[in-house]
Amino acid sequence: MSLTRLQGIDPGRIGVFAGPLNGQPAAAQRTFVREMERLGYGTLWYGEALAQEAFARGAIYLAATERLVIASGIANIWARDAAAMANGGRTLSEAWPGRFILGIGVSHAPLVRLRGGDYGRPYSAMRTYLDAMDAAPWRGAAAALPPVVLAALGPRMAGLAGERTAGAYPYFSTAAHVREVRGILGPEPFLAADLPVVLAGDFAAARVIGDRHLSAYLGSANYRANLLRLGWPEADLQPPGSDALFEAIVAWGDLDRIADLVRERFAAGADQVVLNLVAADPAAPPLDELRALAPLT
């Protein structure tokens, strides 16, 4: 793994995206990240959307752990101006050196409209935003901007990630898409690949748990458009998605089968595979899944 663009941060080969943490109190979140660290995972990626604010949440995780790398995945550019984004990142980077990755993205049109923003030209908005981040004044203790990673689906955003940032974090993705993003980035930029994981004894049981995840994201115009661009027919994208789509996006089964699908993402060009823990109970912290998958680290 090349760490050149990550400024010496070692994110590890296996990360975790724990969506169910969004609804948990801070005490439960602290317990989860401490267990992650104990089990040997490299990085926690966490969302923002309309949930807990990205930098406040990052500080909770960094303060609760000693070594775990924490990565916003993603911090929404419509939630704060570019100076606030850059300086929020510098604040965490200065307080916890070498442990914070600033993942940022353009979010989705309905969420942007809720904030009063105009989603009309997301690529241009991101390019302008990165310029403004570079130019943002900073009057705190000496601190460099942490490595920035873009949430990238389409080729233009992936190209921008390779040109301007440390790398890319494609979400709701297939191995073929990861391979495409790596080809656009080139060999040096960091590539974290999201992989939804369902621990289940058979395919029917996996679908019962995983269909909730697929249905949520197939309702997003961005993810649907990307899958159509990759050649998936419209019929496969009707929520909760076809069996073929489920197999392409979700790793399900026992530990050995999931390990094979993790290796597939690495073979496609990922530097880190981010296990997106999809649990049977979406209201509970996925600690059982975290512990069961720890041998993959």
pLDDT score at 194: 97
Number of structural domains (the chain) is 1
Report yes or no on 286 lying in a domain.
yes
DSSP 8-state class, residue 145: P
pLDDT score at 116: 66
Residue 1 has pLDDT above 60, yes or no: no
| Domain containing residue 163: CATH number | 3.20.20.30
Average pLDDT, the chain: 93
Q: Give CA–CA dist 96/4, Å, rounded.
A: 19
Pick left, alpha or beta for residue 49 (phi over 0 → left; psi -120 to 50 → alpha; otherwise beta).
left
pLDDT score at 142: 84
291 pLDDT band, cuts 50/70/90, is very high
Report yes or no on 18 lying in a domain.
yes
Report yes or no on 280 lying in a domain.
yes
Report yes or no on 291 lying in a domain.
yes
CA atoms within 13 A on the CB side of 290: 25
Residue type, 178: V
Among 66, 139, 136, 140, residue whose Cα is nearest residue 97? 66
Q: Give the number of other CB atoms < 10 A from CB of residue 8.
A: 9
In this predicted model, what pLDDT tens digit does every residue of 222-271 receive, in sequence order? 899 999 999 999 999 999 999 999 999 999 999 999 999 999 999 999 99
Report yes or no on 147 lying in a domain.
yes
Report yes or no on 78 lying in a domain.
yes
Report yes or no on 53 lying in a domain.
yes
Report yes or no on 217 lying in a domain.
no
Q: Please say whether the beta carbons of 54 and 75 come within 8 A.
A: yes
pLDDT score at 114: 60
- Give the domain range for residue 41: 4-204+250-296
Q: Which two tokens stand for residue 289?
A: 């899944």
pLDDT score at 255: 97
Q: Strand, coil or helix: what is 245?
A: helix
